[in-house]
Amino acid sequence: MDSRQRLIETTLGLLRSQGLRATGLNQILKESGAPRGSLYHHFPGGKEQLVIEALRAAGDVIGARIRDAVEGERNAATALRRFTDAYAADMRQSDYQQGCPIGNAATDAAATSPAIRQVCDEVFASWERSIARSLERQGFESKQAAALAEFTLSSIEGALILCRARRSIEPLRRATQHIEVVLSTAQRRKRRR
Amino acid sequence: MDSRQRLIETTLGLLRSQGLRATGLNQILKESGAPRGSLYHHFPGGKEQLVIEALRAAGDVIGARIRDAVEGERNAATALRRFTDAYAADMRQSDYQQGCPIGNAATDAAATSPAIRQVCDEVFASWERSIARSLERQGFESKQAAALAEFTLSSIEGALILCRARRSIEPLRRATQHIEVVLSTAQRRKRRR
């Protein structure tokens, strides 16, 4: 792995476990083993640029997992369950140390870094579009699909916070069940029209 | 206001806007105007103790607002809407700078401070109990009331993250609508049994 990639992956791991504000360049350099010169060579904008690229990379990786889940499955609720089951297993395996890097960064950046906040918004929006497209394929019109996708994402983000506070995957499991209720209720109402 | 109270309120404001890890004792002292000696007098455990007391205080204030909302209203969904409408107004007024102090701290503390993580869990649990009691008064049995209360809280926590990332209160408004769907679906199913 080249030093650019090592810097990005180290930053991402720290963003997932300890958030944006706790993550400093010295720790990133130390844990990645990358030389200081390479940091300023690859990321002349310093920490903010490095964080933004790490968040975009995480957005792509998690976005691909969401797409894999929804494209392999006709039913959005089944896809959602497959995705959250895998996420719950990861969370348990990390001993609840690893939250959502975008959710963590958004929490920290909202009041402090407009550029990072905006990247978080863009990544959330791209995940929502994947979920929404899957709902459109199931017959939802685009406006409702977008609203349901946003709710699905925000419920999962909130459940991850409770999972970490509680050291349990139950909040994520229960959020998944309740999101399924919302999706199937919306489906039934759609049919009735 | 005495210096103990000033220290707690300053800490709380910083936890709401910038989170746990960004908040240092020097900034707390500077913004509160409290003398350094009073910090170690009132909080011999230093930052962790001060943060824990600030989180407990916030837990009580927000918990009282939740109780006021649910006790003044027979229908839990109506109470929820009243609570989230007020929260949305606050969020807009703070220009999206102020998130949930407990959600913010839980995100930061899960991997770094077991004591703070546990306080976050306790505060979340106390809020859930208020919501659950209101659902029990509406006729839900206690296990289902607890699961619905947890989902209600986690959906709101997640919506607050999206609101701050998006600089919009729409995620909270839509979360409220969808939680209402979950509650009314559960109510209908209960009646059918």
Q: What is the pLDDT of residues B148-163, one digit of tens each?
A: 999 999 999 999 999 9
Is there a contact between A107 and B164 if contact means CB atoms under 8 Å apart? Answer: yes
Which residues lie closer than 8 Å to B138 by C-beta, 6 or more apart? B74, B75, B76, B187
Using the Cβ of A128 and the Cβ atoms of chain B, whether some distance falls under 8 Å is answered with no
Per-residue confidence (pLDDT) for residue B96, from 0 to 100: 92
Does pTM top 0.90 for this prediction?
A: yes
CA A74 to chain CA centroid, nearest Å: 22
For the cut 80, the answer to whether the pLDDT of residue A193 exceeds it is: no
Residue A115 has pLDDT above 90, yes or no: yes
Q: Is the Cα dihedral A53, A55, A59, A60 positive or negative?
A: positive
On the CB side of B58, CA atoms within 13 Å amount to 28
pLDDT confidence band for A29 (50 / 70 / 90) = very high
Q: Can you tell me the distance from the alpha carbon of B154 to that of A46, in angstroms, rounded to the nearest whole number?
A: 34
- In this complex, do A161 and B159 lie within 8 Å of one another by their Cβ atoms? no
Give the gap in angstroms from C-alpha A20 to the nearest C-alpha of chain B.
9
Cα–Cα distances in Å, from B52 out to B4, B37, B101, B115?
13, 19, 11, 8
Question: Which of these, A21, A184, A88, lies nearest to B23 by C-alpha position?
Answer: A21
What pLDDT sits at residue B116?
95
Res A98: pLDDT: 85
Backbone angles phi, psi at B7, to 5 degrees: -65, -45
Report how far residue A111's alpha carbon sits from residue A21's, in angstroms, rounded to the nearest whole number.
Answer: 11
Identify from B47, B118, B156, B157 which residue to disrupt to test chain A contact, counting A C-beta atoms within 10 A and taking the largest count.
Answer: B157
For residues A37-45, give the mean pLDDT: 94
At A109 the pLDDT is: 85
Would you give the DSSP letter of residue A167? Answer: T
DSSP codes of every residue in A99-124: --HHHHHHHHHTTT-HHHHHHHHHHH
| A62–chain B Cβ distance below 8 A for any pair | no
Q: How confident is the model at residue A20 (pLDDT cuts 50, 70, 90)?
A: confident
* Cα gap A60→B130, rounded to integer Å: 39
Residue B174 contacts residue A147 (beta carbons within 8 Å) = yes
Contacts of B78 (CB under 8 A, 6+ apart): none
Average pLDDT over residues A69-85: 90
| Residue-level pLDDT at A99 | 87
- Residue B132 is predicted with a pLDDT of 96
User: What is the number of other CB atoms lying within 10 angstroms of the CB of residue B97?
Assistant: 15
In the block, tokens 């360049």 appear at: A25
A55 touching B, CB under 8 A?
Answer: no
Q: How far is B66 from chain A (nearest CA, A)?
A: 18
Which token pair is B123? Answer: 């505060």
Residue of B nearest to A99 (CA): B107
Low-confidence ranges of chain B (pLDDT < 50): none
Query: C-alpha angle with apex B179: B176 to B182, nearest 5 degrees?
Result: 155
Cβ–Cβ gap A107/B99 under 8 Å: yes
Confirm if A42 and A3 have CB atoms less than 8 A apart.
yes
A5 in reach of chain B (CB within 8 A): no
- Beta carbons of A162 and B150 less than 8 Å apart: yes
Stretch among A56-60, A108-112, B69-73, B175-179 having the lowest mean pLDDT: A108-112
- CA angle A136/B88/A58 to nearest 5° reads 50
Compute the count of residue pairs across chains A and B with CB atoms less than 8 Å apart. 162
Exposed/middle/buried for residue B89 (C-beta within 10 Å: 0-12, 13-18, 19+): exposed
| Buried-state track B145-172, b at ≥16 Cβ within 10 A, e below 16 | bbbbbbbbbbbbbbbbbbbbbbebbebb
pLDDT in the model for residue A65: 93
The answer on pLDDT for A1 being more than 80 is: no
- The reply to whether B47 touches chain A by the CB within 8 Å rule is no
Closest CA to B67 of B16, B122, B133, B125: B133
Whether B93 contacts chain A with CB within 8 A: no
* CA atoms B71, A161, B14, A120: torsion sign: negative
